[in-house]
């Protein structure tokens, strides 16, 4: 009786093996057929190293086992040969069929786009579970798949390289025509206009003006992304550099299209009195409107213009002390009071971030501070709220990161 059971067990095991082989063969044939059809129209964007291009196409399947068996995990490394498929590669290393199909379901490109000379490495445990797979598509891009809670998660890592280009504005030519003659496409030209449109008029560039451009070139899609631009127009230089948020800023971290920068000073200072329409005045002890925000700061602190505009007042008042009023063309007015020294005069045109005064303790005050107001269409508004609404400037941390990153781009632009 025991012998009969033993024979039945062997036969059932053999039938199971045959079924698995037939299923694998059928799936492989179907997938291989679709793969070959798709591969006929593939365009190769990657660069192969010399030793990778010399692989023998007829060489039998061979996998190098990395000397690492931590917790019964084996690591495999393989260079793809002609017509090799991911299914057969993983199956021969002991990966179970369920994991192979899950991987393909996650990313069909690994089935259709394996190419001769590419590198694969993967980790398998003793039960056949595929833990991780790294697909080195080229010297510039790789995909990493990791199994988490029975599902595959993937990440793409790409390496781009910098591309430098120059545009010269020639006689009887325009910026657009000169850019096209320099080999730029419409998308690249638009990105230059976007970067500098708030600083220069592209219709009024002088003959001999030149642009230095830095692009990040992606070999996978053959596209260029503008990282920085420097314009030299009759000796005057304009810079615009892309930040991690995709917007362009000048070398000081300001975006010229913004209505405001966050504050009229560089460092952090305590708010000593907020915007309040019913504030108890600390000097008169009467309830009165406080139409701005007071920032306590040492006398002599540089005060910056928080917007582009024209100085319409720069004088003294017994209550406001020395003060400056700046009008923006978009019906915005900013006021800076209790100053120690005014550095501009009525009629001056100032730019966002420009130093216009030094803070002080003049006029009716209880201590050194800057009183700052914003008016829109002749109505005072809370500066702290309007800053959040209109400002597109970088945060303190973002600005610090931006200034650090922009130094590298400036090296190439200069």
Give a yes or no: residue 218 inside a domain: yes
Taking only the tens place, the pLDDT of each residue in 278-312 is 777 777 777 788 999 999 999 999 999 988 899 99
Q: How far apart are CA 380 and CA 335, in angstroms?
A: 10
SS3 131: strand
87 and 165 housed in the same domain: no
Q: How far apart are CA 383 and CA 18, in angstroms?
A: 77
Q: How far apart are CA 146 and CA 59, in angstroms?
A: 30
Give a yes or no: residue 232 inside a domain: yes
Number of structural domains the chain divides into: 3
Spatial CA neighbour of 189 closest among 200, 178, 199: 178
What is this structure's pTM?
0.45
Q: Which domain holds residue 174?
A: 161-249
201 and 228 housed in the same domain: yes
Give a yes or no: residue 408 inside a domain: no
Give the pLDDT band of residue 237 (cuts 50, 70, 90).
very high
Which has more pLDDT, 180 or 58? Answer: 180
Tokens of 260: 């405001």
305 and 363 housed in the same domain: yes
Taking only the tens place, the pLDDT of each residue in 338-393 is 999 999 999 999 988 899 999 999 999 989 999 999 998 888 999 888 755 555 56
Mean pLDDT, to the nearest integer, of 235-259? 83
176 and 192 housed in the same domain: yes
Q: Which residues, at least 6 apart from 276, have a Cβ–Cβ distance to it below 8 Å?
A: 289, 290
């Amino acid at each position: 009786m025991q012998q009969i059971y033993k024979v039945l067990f062997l036969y059932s095991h053999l039938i199971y093996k045959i079924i698995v082989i037939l299923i694998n063969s059928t799936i492989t044939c179907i997938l291989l057929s679709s793969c070959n059809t798709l591969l006929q129209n593939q365009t190769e964007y990657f660069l192969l190293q010399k030793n990778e291009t010399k692989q023998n196409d007829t060489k039998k399947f061979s996998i190098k086992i990395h000397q690492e068996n931590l917790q019964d995990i084996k690591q495999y490394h393989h260079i793809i040969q002609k017509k090799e498929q991911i299914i057969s590669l993983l199956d021969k290393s002991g990966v179970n069929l369920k994991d192979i199909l899950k991987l393909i379901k996650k990313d069909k490109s690994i089935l259709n786009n394996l190419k001769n000379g590419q590198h694969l490495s993967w980790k398998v445990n003793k039960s056949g579970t595929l833990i991780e797979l790294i697909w080195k598509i080229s010297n510039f891009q790789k995909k990493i798949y990791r199994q988490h809670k029975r599902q595959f998660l993937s990440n793409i890592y790409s390496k781009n390289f910098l591309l430098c280009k120059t545009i010269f504005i020639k006689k009887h030519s325009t910026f657009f025509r000169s850019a096209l003659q320099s080999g730029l496409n419409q998308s690249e030209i638009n990105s230059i206009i976007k970067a500098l449109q708030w600083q220069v008029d592209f219709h009024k560039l002088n003959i001999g003006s030149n642009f230095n451009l830095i692009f990040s070139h992606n070999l996978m899609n053959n596209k260029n992304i503008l990282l920085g631009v420097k314009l030299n127009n009759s000796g005057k230089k304009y810079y615009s550099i892309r930040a991690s948020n995709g917007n362009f800023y000048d070398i000081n971290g300001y975006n010229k299209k913004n209505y405001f920068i966050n504050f009229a000073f560089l460092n952090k200072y305590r708010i000593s009195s907020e915007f309040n329409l019913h504030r108890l005045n600390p000097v008169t002890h009467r309830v009165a409107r406080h139409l701005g925000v007071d920032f306590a700061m040492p006398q002599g602190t540089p005060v910056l213009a928080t917007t582009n505009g024209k100085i319409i007042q720069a004088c003294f008042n017994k209550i406001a002390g020395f003060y400056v009023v700046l009008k923006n063309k978009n019906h915005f007015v900013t006021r800076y009071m209790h100053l120690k020294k005014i550095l501009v005069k009525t009629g001056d045109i100032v730019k966002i971030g420009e130093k216009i005064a030094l803070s002080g303790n003049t006029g009716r005050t209880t201590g050194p501070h800057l009183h700052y107001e914003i008016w829109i269409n002749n109505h005072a508004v809370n500066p702290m709220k309007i800053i959040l609404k209109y400002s597109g400037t970088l945060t303190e941390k973002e600005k610090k990161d931006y200034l650090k990153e922009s130094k590298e781009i400036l090296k190439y632009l200069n």
